[in-house]
């Protein structure tokens, strides 16, 4: 039941209204302006992107905002999925191309 309550109180940084953002403890009118301005350029990809683009949000502030209910793409800080592993693909050989096209042979000077 506590988990459902925590999820209901989550405020999504990419979609929340300015009033909803302002309701989060630690976010005031200036921070709301910065968040809205940054997300108008493009949505936040993750917490790292959020911290890099919103001035005044460092690791400690991001941790506090996340604990107070802010999410980025539906995730709290530290809940980002692991990076996708790189899939190995065999190398396909290609025919070599000449470094330069052969031109007419140089004329000999006598």
Nearest to 70 by CA among 1, 5, 22, 4: 22
In a domain, 10, yes or no: yes
In a domain, 47, yes or no: yes
In a domain, 59, yes or no: yes
What is the residue range of 14's domain? Answer: 2-71
In a domain, 58, yes or no: yes
pTM of the model: 0.66
Contact yes or no for 76/3 (Cβ under 8 A): no
Q: How confident is the model at residue 110 (pLDDT cuts 50, 70, 90)?
A: low
**Distance, CA of 101 to CA of 52 (rounded, Å):** 49
- What is the domain-level CATH number for residue 28? 1.10.150.320
In a domain, 82, yes or no: no
- How many structural domains compose the chain? 1
pLDDT digits (tens, 9 = 90+) for 57-109: 999 999 999 999 999 999 999 887 666 777 777 878 878 777 666 666 666 66
Instruction: Give me the chain's average pLDDT, please.
Output: 84
Contact yes or no for 13/72 (Cβ under 8 A): yes
pLDDT more than 90, % of the chain: 62
Specify the DSSP class assigned to residue 72. B
The dihedral of CA 4, 10, 12, 18: what is its sign? positive
Structure tokens belonging to residue 97: 């191309």
């Amino acid at each position: 039941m506590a988990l459902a309550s925590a999820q209901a109180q989550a405020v999504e940084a990419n979609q929340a209204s300015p009033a909803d953002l302002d309701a989060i403890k630690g976010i005031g009118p200036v921070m709301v302006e910065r968040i809205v301005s940054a997300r108008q350029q493009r949505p936040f990809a993750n917490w790292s992107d959020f911290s890099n683009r919103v001035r005044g949000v460092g690791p400690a502030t991001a941790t506090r905002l996340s604990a107070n209910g802010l999410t980025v793409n539906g995730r709290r800080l530290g809940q980002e999925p692991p990076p996708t592993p790189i899939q190995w693909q065999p190398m396909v050989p290609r025919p070599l191309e000449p470094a330069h096209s052969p031109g007419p042979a140089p004329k000999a000077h006598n």
